[in-house]
Amino acid sequence: MPNVDIYPEIDLKIAFDTLLQLEQESGDVGGLYWHKVATILRQSDINRRLLAQAQQKLTKIQGVLDL
């Protein structure tokens, strides 16, 4: 099976810059909302990276075991 990266690297700089701008412009409650959205996006990116690493490790193990 070819090694296809189904979790490609995504540049989230524009998204984070936009969310920061929305956070700053939205007042207390709106700012908190956009801050939480940015936090969720950041955590999902971390989880995507961890999943890609786990997938690579699993692929190596499968190669060793010849499954």
Burial 4-18 (b: 16+ CB within 10 A, else e): eeeeeeeeeeeeeee
Is 0.95 surpassed by the pTM of this model?
Answer: no
pLDDT digits (tens, 9 = 90+) for 20-61: 999 999 999 999 999 999 999 999 989 988 998 999 999 899
Which residues have CB under 8 Å from 29's CB, separation 6+? none
Distance CA 20, CA 38 (A): 8
Distance CA 42, CA 46 (A): 6
In 1-67, where does DSSP find H-type helix? 13-25, 27-65
